[in-house]
Chain A
Amino acid sequence: EADIYQTPRYLVIGTGKKITLECSQTMGHDKMYWYQQDPGMELHLIHYSYGVNSTEKGDLSSESTVSRIRTEHFPLTLESARPSHTSQYLCASSGGQAQWGYTFGSGTRLTVV
């Protein structure tokens, strides 16, 4: 059973709109991550957080922003969506013990038209 939830699963939106992708986990994990993945390509880390009020940018430059006001919630926001933002966005969390790996959500497939 997935303990990390992403909404919406699919989103088609017009250029210039502001969007927020939701990610919540019920495992009490301190560490949370956002990855971007295009079809057939590797996951690229765009944001991460090690705890409440901690956010950092990842290795792939992104125009999105994130916040971490509560442990369980790590939303991603695009202030003005563009077609270049079309991609799959995957949220993950980790309890910090490497042997358990990351737990991923099912992803949000975003299409900007």
Chain B
Amino acid sequence: SQKIEQNSEALNIQEGKTATLTCNYTNYSPAYLQWYRQDPGRGPVFLLLIRENEKEKRKERLKVTFDTTLKQSLFHITASQPADSATYLCALDMDSSYKLIFGSGTRLLVRP
């Protein structure tokens, strides 16, 4: 069955360091992959999209990579800040039908 895996353990890092989160998927050949941020009790907020023909995408302190051979995306936050503490979700449109399937997310904690 189709599956999206994100590290369920929280990532705890020091302010100023780079946070790297991983998203692995199986049995998909998605045209693109999206990353969202979710704060407790709130809906997810869209951050970035990367297409299958793009290796890397950047937006301010965020960088996303997409390796369709490994079926993996990496999400990086450079110069992390305590305000970056949240859960980060990756999502795929598995059959280009405009229906997103979400991973369970990885919680990021940035210590001051």
Q: Which of B34-42, B61-69, B77-85 contacts A (4 or more CB under 8 A)?
A: B34-42
Interface residues of B in 89-105 (CB under 8 A from A): 89, 93, 98-105
Known: A107-B41, A107-B43. A101 touches B102 (CB 8 A): no
Q: Which of B37-67 contact A (CB under 8 A)?
A: 41-47, 49
A 51-85 to B, binary, CB cutoff 8 A, 1 in contact else 0: 00000001100000000000000000000000000
Interface of B is mostly: strand
B36 in contact with A106 (CB, 8 Å): no
Asked whether A43 and B46 contact (CB < 8 A) given A98-B32, A98-B93, A107-B41, the answer is no
Q: Please encode chain A, from 32 to 61, with 1 for each CB lying within 8 Å of some chain B CB and 0 for all others.
A: 010100001111010010100000001100
Interface size on B, residues (CB 8 A): 23
Given known A-B contacts A98-B32, A99-B49, A101-B36, A45 and B43 have beta carbons under 8 A apart = no
Q: Which residues in chain B, 1-38, are within 8 Å of chain A measured between CB atoms? A: 4, 31-32, 34, 36
Q: Which one, B32, B34, B42, B99, contacts A58 given CB within 8 A?
A: B99
> Complex formed: what's the CA distance from A58 to B101 in Å?
10
Tell me whether A96 and B98 are in contact (CB under 8 A).
yes
Residues of B within 8 A of A (CB): 4, 31-32, 34, 36, 41-47, 49, 89, 93, 98-105
